[in-house]
Amino acid sequence: MGVRVKRVNAVGILLLAVPLLCLLVFFLHPLATVLLRSITDAHGAFTPTNYLRLFDDPGLPRAAWHSLVIGLATTLCTVSLGLCLAMALHRSRLPGKALIRGALLLPMLAPSLVLALGLVCLLGRNGLVHRLTGLPTDIYGFWGLLIANTLYGLPQVVIIVSAALVRTPARHYDAAASMGASPWRQFIDVTIPRVRFALLAAAFLVFTETLTDFGSAVVIGGNYRVLAVEIYGEVVGQQDFAMGATLGVVLLAPALLSVWLARLAKRRQDTGDANPGRSFVPAAHPWRDMTLGGIALATLLPMVGVVATVAYVSVVKLWPYDRTLTLANYMGGMPDGYGPVATSIGMATMAACAGVLLVFALSAGLRRTPSFVAKPVQFIASLPSAVPGLVLGLGYVLAFNHGPLSGWLYGSVAIVAACSLYHYHAQAFLTMQTGMRQVPQALDDAVATSGGTALHVLRDAVWPFAAPAAISTFFYLFMRAMVTLSGVIFLVTPELGLASVTVMRLDENGFLAQAAAYAMCVVLASALALGAMRLLLHVLKDRRHVA
């Protein structure tokens, strides 16, 4: 006669319950509200009218088409250029790789619209190039948007593809070379098969992000209107929430599909050999290096140039007419002072703190749960990557501006922080989970048999391995929250200003120099955060003896 032992892991349940509840209230609930709003009328009755109205305005289907086209075009450009850059970093003998890596960091430090802003200042009708050379440059429209989106998406592609390249063991190249394969042949037969799923995953990610991008489209899209801009117009301009919600759902569909395909691609990706062995040392090949170097230069010079232009514009008296250098924009020249910057930093800190705690709890809670519970939870936790920021922001407005919590939440920094957090929840969760997976099972058991409780397991077994992931997650959330625009654009109030939104507003009204000044503040804050993260991780690595 046996005794069936039921281990009720109270700590585990609590760890799961709180983050799940927050996901429910602050993510699923707003999302559901948007979906509901799109299929109901003003009185709450179900109706398909909103979707039918989509075709009344010929501009809307055209905007949807534009979104698709710019998405595909950007994806094509970023993936091909990204592959070249990744090859330049890991399969060439180019000098100055640190410069390439540094340049690739820049787009991550600023809102997407800052790149567009820099492009406009450089190549717009009244841009620097026009002023200096007299050439009739006009960057608004499709091409400007394409360039801005490409520059913004490149770093991600390079990171994803680089990871795949680094994982390829050197001995595969050795084997190919010993059988007589030329470098080009090696590229086709060894490199491509191992990176193709990484390329696919990166492609879908860039497609989703471009499809839903709002900042660049507003600044540099011009007459090339995309769906994201239409949503903004409906909600802020026309106050037509139903229409906004409907358009949001339309945008949601391809995003969901794209993210699902990205996940499939990532799963089929080679997880690398168990023993990668010696790291790959590229052979000397001047032609390859020159080509890759040329492409890198052609791609990264504009990247650096655009950000440098923004920096330049921020220290100029009256752009573009009076270009005397001055720091006036930073000292008293800003319409709202440093308020929006401070609010952004505060909001980002809040999002990062809450985020890291919630994501840590969620990952820790999932460690010992059976898969019939774990799989749906992981799905919900990763769903935010498919939801455009605008849709989530709209959901927050609809869900929290009325109803029982509105008095407390509406207009608060907390709600903006929550929106930012859940917009980027998927990647944060992934980072934390990856860190937690490194904890050896034996360590868990060692704590248990030494007499430790579940809390001891967390402190002594999990934390040493999860600490770097926690730090990365914190700063990731901080930096994303600093630069996010589409998620929060609907949540700002006259009393609650954010730096990224202020940049957009100032640009809309033609105050480019001040816009640039705010943008540089964001860049500085992000750069400091990045530096702090790198320092912390380095110190941690030194002090700890975790491999």
Partner 1 sequence: MHLRIDDIAKAWSGHTVLDGVSFHARENEFVCLLGPSGCGKTTLLRIVAGLTAADAGRVILGDRDITALPARERRMGLVFQAYSLFPDMTAAANVGYPMRLRRDPPARIAARCSELLERVGLGGLGARFPDELSGGQQQRVALARALATEPAMLLLDEPLSALDPAIRGQLRTEIRQLQRALGIPTIMVTHDQEEALAMADTIVCMNHGRIEQAGSPRDLYERPRSRFVAEFVGRANLLPTAFVRDALPGFLERRPPGSESTYELCLRPEDVAIESNPRGEAVVEDSVFLGNLARITIAWRGRKLLVEQSGRSVLNRGESVAVDALRGVWVCA
**# residues contacting partner 1 (CB under 8 A):** 27
Contact between 204 and 258 under an 8 Å Cβ cutoff? The reply is yes
Tokens of 84: 């070249």
**Distance of closest approach, residue 272 Cβ to partner 1, in angstroms:** 20
Q: Which residues of 486-509 are buried (b: 16+ CB within 10 A; e: fewer)?
A: bbbbbbbeeebbbbbbbbbbbbee
- Residue 277 near residue 171, CB atoms below 8 Å: yes
Of 275 and 450, which CB lies nearer to partner 1 in the complex structure? 450
DSSP secondary structure of 421-490: HHHTHHHHHHHHHHHHTTS-HHHHHHHHHTT--HHHIIIIIIHHHHHHHHHHHHHHHHHHHHH--TTTTT
Q: Which stretch binds partner 1 (CB under 8 A): 178-186, 359-367, 390-398, 443-451?
A: 443-451
Q: How far is Cα 472 from Cα 532, in angstroms, rounded to an integer? A: 10
Exactly one of 181, 318, 446, 530 binds partner 1 (CB under 8 A); that residue is 446
Gap between the Cα atoms of 513 and 183, Å rounded: 49
Q: Which range touches partner 1 (CB under 8 A), out of 184-192, 226-234, 428-436, 446-454?
A: 446-454
Rule CB under 8 A: choose which of 261, 443, 527, 536 binds partner 1. 443
> Which of residues 1 and 98 has its CB atom nearest to partner 1 in the complex?
1
Binding flag, residue 456, partner 1 (CB under 8 A): yes
H/E run at residue 491: none
| Interface residue with partner 1, options 41, 57, 273, 445 (CB under 8 A) | 445
Q: Please, which of residues 285-344 interact with partner 1 by CB under 8 A?
A: none
Residue from 132, 274, 325, 547 binding partner 1 (CB under 8 A): 547
Instruction: Write the DSSP assignment of 213-247 as a string of letters.
Output: --HHHHHH-TT---HHHHHHIIIIIS--HHHHHHH
Shortest CB 123 distance to partner 1, Å: 53
The rounded distance, in Å, linking the Cα atoms of 469 and 433 is 8
> What is the separation of C-alpha 516 from the centre of its chain, rounded to a whole number of angstroms?
21
**Toward partner 1, which CB reaches closer, 172 or 367?**
367
From 1-9, 121-129, 477-485, 527-535, give the range in contact with partner 1 by CB under 8 A: 1-9
Strand partners, 318: 322
| 274 touching partner 1, by CB under 8 A | no
* Residues 486 to 545 in contact with partner 1, rule: CB under 8 A: 543-545
Name the residue nearer to partner 1 (CB basis): 57 or 445. 445
Could you say whether residue 438 binds partner 1 (CB under 8 A)?
Answer: no
Q: Which is nearer to partner 1, 321 or 372 (CB)?
A: 372
Complex with partner 1: residue 278 or 543, whichever CB lies closer: 543
Give the start-end residues of each E strand in 88-219. Answer: none
Residues 462-481 that bind partner 1 (CB under 8 A): 464
- Closest approach of partner 1 to the CB of residue 541, in Å: 11
| Residue whose structure tokens are 């790198």 | 534
- Tell me whether residue 471 or residue 521 sits nearer to partner 1 (CB atom): 471
Q: What is the nearest approach in angstroms of partner 1 to the Cβ of residue 276?
A: 19
Which of these ranges, 138-146, 385-393, 418-426, 451-459, lies near partner 1 under the rule CB under 8 A? 451-459
Tokens in use for 35? Answer: 């979906």
Distance from C-alpha of 482 to C-alpha of 499, rounded to nearest angstrom: 8
Distance between CA atoms of residues 481 and 498, nearest Å: 10
Question: Segment contacting partner 1 (CB under 8 A): 266-274, 340-348, 458-466, 489-497?
Answer: 458-466
Binding footprint of partner 1 on the chain (CB under 8 A)? 1-7, 440, 442-443, 445-446, 448-453, 456, 460-461, 464, 543-547
